Amino acid sequence: MPTTMTLLKKALEVKRAAAWARTFNITESAFAQAKKRQRLSPTLAGKIAHELGEDEARWIAVAGLEAEPPSSDRDSMLLRLAGAMKS
């Protein structure tokens, strides 16, 4: 199942966190916090997706769901989004 950490990993293969931070006019600590929390904010996920040519709306949705407390509903929605991303 794709997670925003997958998206972040893809982004960091393109350029370093410092370069992304300059691109988005944010601090590098935003990336450190994302790694610590194991998720991107919906806004940052959308910005990265846009820069990588990915579907912004889907990544924003994934990030939003990841921010929700764990539940079977959240997990089933993440699985549905993962299926939609493959097709």
Residue 77, judged by CB atoms within 10 A of its CB (0-12, 13-18, 19+), counts as middle
Instruction: Note down the domain range covering 72.
Output: 4-86
| Residue/partner pairs of 54-58 with CB below 8 Å, 24 or more apart | 54/7, 55/85, 58/84, 58/85
The DSSP secondary-structure symbol of 70 reads: P
| Rounded mean pLDDT, 62-78 | 93
pLDDT at 42: 97
Q: How confident is the model at residue 85 (pLDDT cuts 50, 70, 90)?
A: confident
- Total number of domains constituting the chain: 1
Q: Return all residues near 59 (Cβ < 8 A) that are at least 6 apart.
A: 4, 7, 45, 46, 48, 49
Give per-residue pLDDT as tens, 19-40: 999 999 999 999 999 999 999 9
- The reported pLDDT for the residue numbered 87 is 63
